């Protein structure tokens, strides 16, 4: 969600990959519940996915977008659409560990240390 520009550096590693950003427009602001907003974004994502029928669907969210992305994935599954879910956020443990490692010892590129 949002522009996603901060993740543009990983795009070459994901190629071929088609992305659709779910932006808050007038229709989104009219939604009064999380479920309504997720349903609206599901309709848009599903319509976009139909343009690329051989591609997998991945739903990703950052920060509060994680909540929306999770609800989207649940709704897609209920409709029979296979979608993977990626949630991106900061570690939320307190107090922070003395030795700060990434995701159980994984480097930023996902390889083991």
d(CA 89, CA 66): 8
d(CA 60, CA 70): 8
User: What is the structure's pLDDT at 1?
Assistant: 45
- Give the three-class secondary structure for 48: helix
pLDDT along the chain (113 residues), means of 10: 63 72 89 95 89 85 89 92 85 55 54 58
Give residues with Cβ within 8 angstroms of 16, minimum separation 6.
55
d(CA 105, CA 108): 10
d(CA 35, CA 42): 10
pTM as predicted: 0.67
User: What is the structure's pLDDT at 35?
Assistant: 94
Domain range summary for the chain, segments of one domain joined by +: 5-88
H or E element that contains 86: strand 83-88
């Amino acid at each position: 969600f949002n522009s996603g520009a901060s993740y543009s550096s990983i795009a070459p590693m994901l190629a071929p990959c088609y992305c659709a950003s779910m932006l808050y427009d007038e229709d989104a602001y009219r939604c009064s519940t999380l479920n309504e907003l997720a349903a609206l974004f599901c309709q848009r994502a599903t319509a976009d996915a139909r343009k690329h029928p051989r591609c997998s669907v991945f739903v990703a969210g950052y920060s509060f977008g994680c909540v929306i992305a999770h609800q989207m994935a649940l709704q897609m599954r209920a409709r029979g659409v296979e979608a993977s879910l990626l949630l991106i956020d900061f570690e939320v443990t307190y107090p922070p560990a003395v030795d700060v490692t990434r995701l159980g010892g994984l480097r930023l590129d996902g390889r083991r240390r």
